[in-house]
Amino acid sequence: MQPKMTRELFDKVILPVYAPANFIPVKGFGSRVWDQHGEEYIDFAGGIAVNALGHCHPRLVKALQVQSEKLWHVSNVFTNEPSLKLAQKLIDNTFADRVFFANSGAEANEAAFKLARYYAIQKYNPYKTKIIAFYQSFHGRTFFTVSVGGQAKYSDGFGPKPADIIHVPFNDLDAVKAVMDDHTCAVVLEPVQGEGGLASATPEFLQGVRKLCDEYQALLVFDEVQCGMGRTGRLYTYQQYDVKPDILTSAKALGGGFPISAMLTTNEIASVMHPGVHGTTYGGNPLACAVACEAFDIINSPEVLEGVQIRRALFIKELELINDKFKLFREYRGKGLLLGVELQPEFHNKARDLLNVAAEFKVMILNAGSNVLRFTPSLIISEDEIKEGMARLTKAVEKVVNA
C-alpha cells in the first residue's frame, strides 16, 4: 500500500537538510498555490526567485508540452536546436560571446570558478589562483562554491577546503585593494547579495573593482543567479551599472521553474577551453532549453521589465501601511522584485517566525538571514494579488507583534 503523502513522511524519508512548511503545495497558477486540502496561498516567494512568470504560465506549459513530444535528452555528444537558440538569445542580449549550460546555480558557478582559474593558469602562470570574494555572499552548495561563498555556516564542517580564496567586506573597495595582487585570478560577487541580506553593490564599488581587475589581469565574475533574468528591472543587473563582467552566471528564473543554468563569457576567455576540460551530462538539454527560450522571450520584453519597478513600488506602498501600524520595518533593500525588508532591532531573529506565521495566514514569503524578510514574487504578479497577499501578511504581523 502507498503511504499517505504527509509532512510527517518528509521527516522519515528525506535527508534532514530542510525544514519545509507544514502544508504541501499540489497545484499552482500565476501567483496562487493550493495545498492538499484545497487551501489557497498567495505566493510572494516565487520558488526563491525562480518562478519569474508565476506557476504554470500557459506559454511555458505549451513550450514544455511541444518539446516533450520531440526530444528530451541527447547528451553533449550531440548538440541540439533549443540549446543553440537559447545561447544565441543570451549572446545577443549581453556582453557575452560564449555560453556553457548546466542545471543549477551552483554548477554554473563551479564552471565559472574553474574557468577563471584555468584561464589565469594557462594564460599567465600556475600561481595566479587567488579568488577574492565577499562576506555574506552565496554561490551554491558544491564544495568550491560554498568555499567561495562568504558564510561559514555553509562551508565549515566538511574538512579541508579548496585553497587560495579570501573574503573581504562587500562594498569596501579599500579592502579589495588591500588583498588584490598579481596572483589574483578573479573577483567574484553578486551585484545584489540574495541570500546574505539583500545588500546592493554601489556603482562606485563595481566600477572600482572593474578597474582593479583590469590593472591586475584578474577576471570579474558576476553571480546573477538570483538577481538576473529581469528580477531587478533589467535583463541582468550589471546592465544598470556601467560595468561589464568577464564571466556571468545565470540560473533560477532562466528556466522559469524548469532547472537550467548558464555561464556566460567572452571569446577571449573561452579560448583556453577545449573538449574534455569541463562538462555535464544534462547541461543544455533540449527540454530545459526549450522552456528557457520561451521564458526568455517573455521576460526580455519592455512590458515585463518595466513592470518590475511599478510592482516594487506597490509592494513598498503596502509594506508602509503595515509599518504605519506595527513599526516593524527599518529599511527597504535590494532592487526591483528582489526586495528585502530589514526588521527593527527589537524584531531581530524574528524573520523565520514571521515566515511561518505568514504561511498560517496563507501567504508565502521568504527570509534572508534572521533579520530580513525577502520578497521574490513573479515579475508579472497582479495588483490584486499583491493587495490580497499584503492583507494576509498584515494579519500575520499582528499575530507576531502581539505574541
Ligand X SMILES: Cc1ncc(COP(=O)(O)O)c(C=O)c1O
Which position has the grid cell 543570451?
90
Nearest CB to ligand X, comparing residues 48 and 91: 48
**Per rule CB under 6 A, is residue 228 in the interface with ligand X?**
no
Query: CA-CA distance, 302 to 257, in Å (whole number)?
Result: 21
192 beta partners = 200
Query: Considering the complex, what minimum distance in angstroms separates the CB of residue 131 from ligand X?
Result: 15
**Per rule CB under 6 A, is residue 190 in the interface with ligand X?**
yes
∠ Cα 312 233 282 (to 5°): 115
Yes or no: say if 173 and 208 are a contact pair by the CB < 8 Å rule.
Answer: yes
Taking CB under 6 A as the criterion, which residues in 232-271 touch ligand X?
Answer: 251
Nearest CB to ligand X, comparing residues 49 and 287: 49
Query: Considering the complex, what minimum distance in angstroms separates the CB of residue 252 from ligand X?
Result: 6
Which residue among 31, 83, 104, 237 contacts ligand X (CB under 6 A)?
Answer: 104
Query: CA-CA distance, 96 to 90, in Å (whole number)?
Result: 7
Beta strand 184-189 with 219-223 is parallel
Segment contacting ligand X by CB under 6 A, of 58-66, 87-95, 190-198, 200-208 = 190-198
Kindly give, in sequence order, each residue whose CB lies less than 8 Å from that of residue 321, ignoring residues fewer than 6 positions away.
390, 394
Kindly give, in sequence order, each residue whose CB lies less than 8 Å from that of residue 92, ignoring residues fewer than 6 positions away.
none
Which residue among 90, 225, 243, 386 contacts ligand X (CB under 6 A)?
Answer: 225
Q: Which of 289, 340, 352, 331 is nearest to 312 (CA)?
A: 340
Query: Considering the complex, what minimum distance in angstroms separates the CB of residue 125 from ligand X?
Result: 29
**Per rule CB under 6 A, is residue 226 in the interface with ligand X?**
yes
Which position has the grid cell 513573479?
378
x/- track of binding to ligand X for residues 3-42 (CB under 6 A): ----------------------------------------
Taking CB under 6 A as the criterion, which residues in 35-64 touch ligand X?
Answer: 48
348 beta partners = none
Query: CA-CA distance, 3 to 84, in Å (whole number)?
Result: 43
Query: CA-CA distance, 23 to 7, in Å (whole number)?
Result: 7
> Would you state the cell numbers that stand for residue 105, as one nine-digit string?
546555480
> Would you state the cell numbers that stand for residue 342, as one nine-digit string?
530589514
Residue type, 364: M
Which residue among 194, 256, 257, 307 contacts ligand X (CB under 6 A)?
Answer: 194
Nearest CB to ligand X, comparing residues 32 and 140: 140
Nearest CB to ligand X, comparing residues 113 and 119: 113
Which residue among 105, 208, 245, 377 contacts ligand X (CB under 6 A)?
Answer: 105
Q: How many residues bind ligand X (CB under 6 A)?
A: 15
How deeply is 340 buried, as exposed, middle or buried, from its count of CB atoms within 10 A (0-12, 13-18, 19+)?
A: buried
Nearest CB to ligand X, comparing residues 219 and 396: 219
Segment contacting ligand X by CB under 6 A, of 100-108, 116-124, 280-288, 314-322 = 100-108
Segment contacting ligand X by CB under 6 A, of 223-231, 240-248, 314-322, 391-399 = 223-231
Which residue among 31, 80, 83, 109 contacts ligand X (CB under 6 A)?
Answer: 109
Q: Which residues bind ligand X (CB under 6 A)?
A: 48, 104-106, 109, 138-140, 190, 194-195, 223, 225-226, 251
